[in-house]
């Protein structure tokens, strides 16, 4: 009898495991289908408009709503795969005896704060239940918004399940129950507890809690201390994600991932080596140009280092470049395309700062070219010292490489022609680029298979987007609180009374932004910091486009600035070298890029000449 019960229980566990396996496959499939639908809808709309002079009713509204769902289904996946962006990448370096306590702390904080964000999102959706606003004439907005409380609830459960030991999970349950009991017994939040809460959040951040949990948790504490509803956080999240330009971010990111994973980098490396490898430093220039190209699509997210680093490091070393120089070059160029179209950071900056995105792209051309030139110059200097790094020119190989890479070379032509030629909107251009990249890599080159390759690439893309959109949402909530608290106005008054010189202000601004860049990722920095510095810069007569270039160049420099420059961590992981060694190799490039930052800061013409 006992043996039969054991078999029954074992059968139940197997069936439960099979059901979980099905769910684990359906979740990324759903997110991937939503992202592909986002790409297809604008292209179909564009084709119908060109052929039949009639499009799909409310197509743009559908795409904006899909953006919200893609972002937050991706956030759930990122929580499942433990891939949310965090400040700390060295948990495995901690002593074995300390790790369970670290896991318990991060799980407790992450679970409680995700549950708080879920409750705030639920209040937001509940308030919209009776709203007459619909999407496309039939879909209630509350149904679109429902992904917010659902995603935060799922993430809270997943954070709670992270600790491997029973003690950690018991600690999570106790933390949740204690928080609920405290809210019931003390419905009025004590402002004195804000400092304690912020300290705990910063401690959790230092040992690995996701950035969105830390920023969102601080925002929740501040709203609670003011006695106002935290529903402003999901309100700002929804407002940002369904804005007219934000859908371009996931679409361009999809295009970048497809190109990076589909062999485009290999073909472009062959092309640039064949045509420019014979020049002094030609291969270093090739790497700089290639990384700038890929970063414009993937954002300064480390994807460029991970995708190109393993391919280019042995090529650079075998071509005569020192290993240290090669690591420094690949690390520094991981974010070098930040100012060129269709840069995701530029798009987001334009949305948050209410500045023309096309004007931002024009303003970024000269600073971006100057940045590429300076980094390439270091490569040329290295090549003069080691002449064996040059490659002989062969016309046959050059023509063959050009023919093989012809489809990838059309990608920037498509983007720039559509954007600046007025043939498509930003979102239509992004959708065309994503679909074009899929056609090139799946149908023409067949580097990605439809049933295995594409789903894997789309899942990686969605997970990255999930981490980004979670940060954007809570970051805007914090910015909303700071604006309501008149922090920017008070800061502007302080600067006006204590700093009279524009030059001194720019020095202080650069110092502050470099600090921000090495502590925050660029997406949360844009949403939180830009609303703070805009009114101050206006007092000193800084042009909005000039301010944008100063800000973005500082953020780009922050990616290679210790202690938490993200590209330093990605390079350390990708190349298998200590973090301190990576920074030592990147120091010459850091100084060169800092020089470009100073030139753009104090010579506004570089940012404004083409606008």
User: 193-217, pLDDT tens digit by residue?
Assistant: 778 888 888 888 888 788 899 989 9
Q: What is the mean pLDDT of residues 268-272?
A: 80
- pLDDT at site 262: 81
| pLDDT recorded at residue 335 | 80
Mean pLDDT of 272-290: 79
pLDDT value of position 34? 92
pLDDT reading at 573 higher than 80: no
More reliable by pLDDT, 58 or 146 = 146
Write down the pLDDT at residue 16.
Answer: 44
Measure the CA–CA gap between 279 and 375, rounded to whole angstroms.
15
pTM score of the predicted model: 0.83
The 8-class DSSP code of residue 404 comes to H
* Residue extents of the structural domains in the chain: 29-240, 248-608
Share of the chain above pLDDT 70, in %: 90
Q: Give the pLDDT band (50/70/90) at residue 20.
A: very low
For the chain, the C-alpha Rg in angstroms (whole number) is: 25
pLDDT score at 300 = 57
Q: What pLDDT sits at residue 602?
A: 92
Considering only residues 181 and 78, tell me which one the structure prediction assigns the higher pLDDT: 78
**Helix, strand, or coil (residue 139):** strand
For the segment 59-93, what is each residue's pLDDT rounded down to a tens digit? 888 998 999 999 999 999 999 988 887 765 555 56
Check: CB of residue 308 under 8 Å from CB of residue 575.
no
- Residues 255/297, Cβ–Cβ less than 8 Å: yes
What 196-205 contacts at long range (C-beta under 8 Å, 24+ apart), as own/partner pairs, is: 197/221, 200/109, 201/109, 201/113, 203/105, 204/105, 204/106, 204/109, 204/110, 205/86, 205/87, 205/88
- pLDDT for res 388: 57
Burial 186-210, CB ≥16 within 10 A → b, else e: eeebeeeebeebeebbeebbebbbb
The partner residues of 474 in beta bridges, in order of sequence, read: none
Q: Give the tens place of pLDDT for each residue, 416-443.
A: 888 777 777 888 898 999 999 999 999 9
Residue with tokens 């997943």: 158
Tokens of 176: 């949740």
């Amino acid at each position: 009898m006992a043996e039969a019960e054991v078999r029954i229980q074992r059968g139940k566990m197997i069936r439960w495991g099979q059901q979980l396996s099905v769910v684990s496959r359906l979740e990324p499939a759903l997110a991937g289908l939503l992202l592909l639908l986002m790409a297809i809808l604008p292209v179909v709309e564009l084709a119908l408009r060109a052929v039949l002079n009639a499009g799909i009713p409310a197509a743009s509204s559908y795409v904006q709503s899909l953006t919200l769902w893609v972002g937050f289904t991706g956030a759930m996946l990122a929580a499942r795969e433990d891939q949310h962006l965090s400040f700390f990448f060295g948990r495995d370096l901690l002593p074995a005896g300390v790790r369970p306590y670290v896991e318990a702390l991060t799980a407790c904080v992450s679970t409680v704060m995700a549950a708080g964000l879920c409750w705030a999102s639920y209040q937001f959706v509940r308030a919209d239940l009776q709203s007459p606003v619909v999407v496309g004439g039939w879909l209630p907005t509350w149904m679109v918004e429902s992904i917010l409380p659902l995603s935060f609830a799922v993430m809270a459960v997943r954070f709670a399940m992270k600790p491997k030991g029973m003690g950690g999970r018991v600690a999570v349950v106790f933390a949740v129950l204690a928080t609920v009991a405290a809210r019931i017994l003390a419905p009025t939040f004590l402002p004195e507890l804000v400092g304690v809460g912020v300290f705990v959040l910063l401690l959790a951040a230092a040992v690995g809690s996701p950035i969105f949990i830390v920023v969102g948790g601080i925002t929740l504490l501040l709203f609670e201390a003011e006695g106002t509803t935290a529903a402003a956080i999901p309100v700002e999240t929804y407002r940002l994600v369904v804005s007219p330009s934000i859908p371009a971010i996931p679409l361009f990111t999809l295009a970048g991932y497809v190109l990076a994973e589909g062999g485009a980098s290999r073909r472009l490396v062959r092309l640039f080596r064949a045509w420019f490898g014979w020049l002094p430093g030609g291969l270093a220039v090739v790497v700089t140009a290639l990384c700038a190209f890929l970063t414009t699509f993937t954002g300064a997210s480390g994807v460029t280092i991970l995708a190109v680093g393993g391919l280019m490091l042995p090529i650079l070393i075998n071509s005569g470049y020192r290993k240290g120089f090669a690591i420094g070059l690949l690390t520094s160029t991981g974010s070098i395309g930040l100012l060129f179209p269709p840069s995701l950071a530029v798009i987001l900056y334009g949305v948050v700062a209410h500045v023309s995105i096309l004007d931002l792209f024009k303003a970024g051309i000269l600073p971006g070219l100057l940045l590429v030139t300076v980094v390439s110059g270091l490569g040329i200097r290295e090549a003069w010292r080691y002449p064996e790094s040059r490659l002989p020119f062969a016309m046959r190989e050059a023509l063959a490489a050009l023919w093989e890479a012809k489809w990838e070379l059309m990608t920037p032509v498509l983007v720039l022609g559509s954007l600046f030629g007025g043939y498509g909107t930003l979102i239509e251009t992004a959708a065309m680029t994503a679909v074009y990249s899929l056609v090139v890599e799946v149908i023409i080159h067949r580097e990605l298979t439809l049933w295995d390759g594409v789903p894997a690439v789309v899942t990686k893309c969605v997970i990255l987007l999930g981490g980004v959109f979670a940060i954007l949402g809570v970051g805007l909530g914090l910015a909303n609180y700071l604006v309501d608290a008149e922090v920017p106005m008070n800061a502007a008054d302080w600067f006006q009374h204590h700093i009279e010189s524009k030059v001194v202000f720019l020095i202080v601004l650069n110092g502050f932004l470099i600090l921000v860049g090495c502590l925050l990722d660029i997406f949360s920095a844009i949403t939180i910091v830009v609303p703070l510095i805009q009114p101050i810069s206006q007092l000193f007569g800084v042009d909005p486009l000039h301010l944008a270039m100063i800000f973005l160049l500082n953020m780009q420099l922050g990616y290679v600035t210790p202690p938490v420059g993200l590209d330093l961590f990605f390079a350390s992981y990708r190349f298998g070298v200590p973090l301190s060694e990576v920074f030592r190799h990147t120091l010459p490039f850091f100084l060169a890029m800092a020089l470009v930052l100073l030139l753009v800061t104090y010579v506004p013409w570089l940012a404004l000449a083409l606008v």
